[in-house]
Amino acid sequence: MARGSTVASSRVVRSRMARGVAGTRGSAESGATNGRAGTGWRRATRVALVAALAVTALAACTASKPGPEGTAKALAAAISTGDFATVTLTGATATEAAAERTTAFDGLKPWQPRVVVKDVATTKDAPDAATATLAFTWDVDASDTDWTYTTTARLARVEDAWQVAWNPFVLAPDLVAGEALSAQRIPAQRAGVVSESGAPIVTDRDVMRVGVDKTRLDASAQDAAARALAQALGMDGDAYAARVAAAGAKAFIEALVVRSNDSSYDLTALQKLAGVNLVKDSLPLAPTRRFARPILGTVGAATAEIIDASNGAIKAGDLTGLSGLQREFDAQLRGLPGLTVAATSAISGAARELFHSDPTVGTPLVLTLDPTLQDVAEGILADVVPASAIVAIRPSSGDVLVAASGPGGDGLSTATMGKYAPGSTFKLATALALLRSGVTPDTTVTCPDSVTVDGRKFSNYPGYPTNRMGEITLRSALANSCNTAFIGARDAAPQAALADAAASLGLGVSGTTGFPAYLGSVPATADGTDHAASMIGQGRVEASPLAMARVAASIAQGSLVTPRLVVPAADATAASVSAASDAATNVATGVATGNATTAAPEPTSVPGAPLTAAEASALRDMMRAVVTEGSGALLLDVPGAPVLAKSGTAQFGTDGDLRNHVWMLAIQGDLAVAVFVGEGDFGSTTSGPLLKRFLLAAAS
């Protein structure tokens, strides 16, 4: 306490004592007590007052001094950020402390610690000393488990200001000068892709990495060797030779990864080429190179872009999904790597472990695909030159059993992402709009040879049966696909009603499918020739094969069906995920498996009126007539439940070069199928035979 404060306090005490004595004297004179007793009482009172005032003054002086908490918080913030400018240190400057932090933590980039003050302790015996406990949290991966620890820092008060005694062990447990932290990742096993029954779709399969091994060649022979291998593999010789030339003197330059059982490559002959080496390996692969490739995507070494975007979760050399579902669900499939954090001495090289976590195996991706039917469909499309697709849906669940794209799609998932005019298959939506206007399948409509709208002439397809012209029923018009009858009825189905009817069947309605998909587009407004073209599925109407399979599935089910290809991991129980993982292993070893738990399709919002049971029944009735009396007669002898169908042809191109997109839809029992070929004659003649082959295979 300052001396001036003590003097002032004494004056206050003396003044108060004087007033107290005078009061006492007055009492004594009145006879309340004798003079000696009064004197003793006054002495006791004086001592008590002095003691009380001294304690109060000391407490006031102590309270005015700052506590250590603020300095402890500043230290925690400095360690978090690396900026020690606001912390008073002893034993090191702010620059030196920041440098030691950089040395210690640089090996853990891009991770940074979050540091908070857990506790600050002082003692009565040493009020100018304190110990701060700092709590560290490192978010080292995507799991809920962080690396946490505490350290302590010593603080001292000097002239009313607190200072930190700097020591490296403030940064990490028992850290000493010259030690640096580093992390060693332990790769996790990538999970596979399985069917709902647990059958493996993507699993580790044996491969051969084929390439030039520069240790096997003189430098002068390397260019020729690279070009010879490229020629044998059908690759760009100049590009591969340049890669070989740019690689190190002892490098192995991979040209192609080939499945060990791929008969399309003569591995024995390739190995005989000068400088060529075959390296055995395994990769997560589908049953065949073509199996749902545009949808599943590929797995390979992480690209620089993927690494940069991962915020440290993916490192160079990691296997990641590069495209398709493998990329979209990469975090689920790749799991979490394990981690060991060690402090290593720059002097001795000795390392001590500070933290360890085991890797977490990825969670299998469960798909609704039927591996057998998918392979059948891809085999059917293997020789189709234009873009093509076969999509099969189970109407009762919405499960996509097949999503096959032919080789003519140049890597695009024609099945799920193609955008094409659906042609006469769209007449199912047009028929629904007409049903809602009051007609029935037995209502008479007119089917002339042609109809003109605003100067544009619309005709039926070449070879349209003459005995199905004139006054026919709506059922017959759909069965034989009479363009003119549907266009002639356009006043009963305005464009808005047409779009609503299409939406009731799922066409042009976006929904949560859980995977990339195009579900079609139908203009809400159109008139004149644009509206006329919409009536027969042309003009601005577009659909994917998946979208048209959805239309057929909704008619079969009698209500809107939402396609489902991916069984969401969030909707599956832990037991079902485990069953899927075990099933993949068991199938590989020949052990029978059970079904994995599935998740219900997510609902879709429909702007149009819901499809009614009566409407669906009428549409099924007319689709059956396609087989019994119309363009789908080739399906009449398919064994099993009766087949319902609808063919479609949509013209595209210029007037001098018109070509046809060709379609065929079918319903058989709990199966809805769409077959599409990008260019062909007619739906019934080009896509129809492909559909029949698929239905026969599905029935066997």
Q: How many CB atoms lie within 10 A of CB 278?
A: 17
Q: Give how far Cα 575 sits from Cα of 78, 85, 598, Å.
A: 46, 54, 11
**CA dist., res. 669 & res. 640, Å (int):** 8
Q: What's the one-letter identity of residue 38?
A: G
Report the C-alpha dihedral over residues 405, 409, 415, 418, rounded to 10 degrees: 180
In the predicted structure, residue 153 carries a pLDDT above the cut 90: yes
Range 317-339 average pLDDT: 92
Contacts of 76-82 with CB under 8 Å at 24 or more apart are 76/115, 76/116, 76/117, 76/134, 77/115, 79/113, 79/115, 79/134, 79/170, 79/171, 80/112, 80/113, 80/114, 80/115
136-160 burial by CB neighbour count: b if 16+ within 10 A, else e?
A: bebbbbeeeeebeeebebbbbbeee
Domain topology for 69-177: Nuclear Transport Factor 2; Chain: A, (3.10.450)
- DSSP lists the bridge partners of residue 183 as 341
Domain parsing of the chain, residue ranges:
3-63, 69-177, 193-337, 371-564+601-699
Residue 103 — pLDDT band, cuts 50, 70, 90?
very high
Give me 236's structure tokens: 């760009």
Q: What are phi and psi of 128, to 5 degrees?
A: -100, 15
In this prediction, residue 145 carries a pLDDT of: 83
In this prediction, residue 439 carries a pLDDT of: 96
In this prediction, residue 110 carries a pLDDT of: 84
Residue 141 — pLDDT band, cuts 50, 70, 90?
confident
Give me 669's structure tokens: 């029992």
Of 292, 297, 295, 317, the closest CA to residue 307 belongs to 317
Give me 266's structure tokens: 């003569």
Q: Give how far Cα 181 sits from Cα of 147, 257, 310, 355, 520, Å.
A: 13, 38, 22, 11, 55
In this prediction, residue 65 carries a pLDDT of: 77
Average pLDDT of the chain is 87
Q: Which three-class secondary structure state does DSSP give residue 414?
A: helix
Condensed to tens digits (0 to 9), the pLDDT of residues 401-411 reads 999 999 999 99
In this prediction, residue 46 carries a pLDDT of: 52
In this prediction, residue 317 carries a pLDDT of: 86
Residue 570 — pLDDT band, cuts 50, 70, 90?
low
**CA dist., res. 634 & res. 86, Å (int):** 86
Residue 511 — pLDDT band, cuts 50, 70, 90?
low
In the predicted structure, residue 658 carries a pLDDT above the cut 90: no
Residue 136 — pLDDT band, cuts 50, 70, 90?
very high
Domain topology for 371-564+601-699: Beta-lactamase (3.40.710)
Of 373, 458, 377, the closest CA to residue 424 belongs to 458
In this structure, whether the domain defined by 193-337 belongs to CATH 3.90.1310 is answered with yes
Range 64-79 average pLDDT: 92
Q: Which has the minimum average pLDDT: 15-29, 511-525, 543-557?
A: 15-29
Residue 140 — pLDDT band, cuts 50, 70, 90?
confident
In the predicted structure, residue 335 carries a pLDDT above the cut 60: yes
Range 661-674 average pLDDT: 98
Is residue 117 a contact partner of residue 88, using CB atoms and an 8 Å limit? no
In this prediction, residue 64 carries a pLDDT of: 62
Range 214-242 average pLDDT: 96
Is the bond preceding 168 in cis, omega lying within 30 degrees of 0?
no
The larger pLDDT score, comparing residue 511 to residue 311, is at 311
- The DSSP 8-state label assigned to residue 284 in this structure reads E
In this prediction, residue 369 carries a pLDDT of: 97
The fraction of the chain above a pLDDT of 90, given in percent, is 76
**CA dist., res. 32 & res. 423, Å (int):** 122
In this prediction, residue 607 carries a pLDDT of: 59
* Distant-in-sequence, close-in-space partners of 310: CB < 8 Å, separation ≥ 6: 302
Of 519, 525, 169, 514, the closest CA to residue 367 belongs to 514
Of 153, 75, 147, the closest CA to residue 111 belongs to 147
Of 381, 382, 383, 384, the closest CA to residue 392 belongs to 381
Range 432-441 average pLDDT: 97
In this prediction, residue 568 carries a pLDDT of: 82
Q: Which three-class secondary structure state does DSSP give residue 204?
A: strand
**CA dist., res. 581 & res. 412, Å (int):** 29
In the predicted structure, residue 456 carries a pLDDT above the cut 60: yes
Q: Where are the beta strands (DSSP E) in 71-142?
A: 89-90, 114-122, 129-138
Condensed to tens digits (0 to 9), the pLDDT of residues 410-424 reads 999 999 999 999 999
Residue 31 — pLDDT band, cuts 50, 70, 90?
very low
Q: Where are the beta strands (DSSP E) in 268-364?
A: 276-285, 299-301, 319-321, 338-345, 351-357
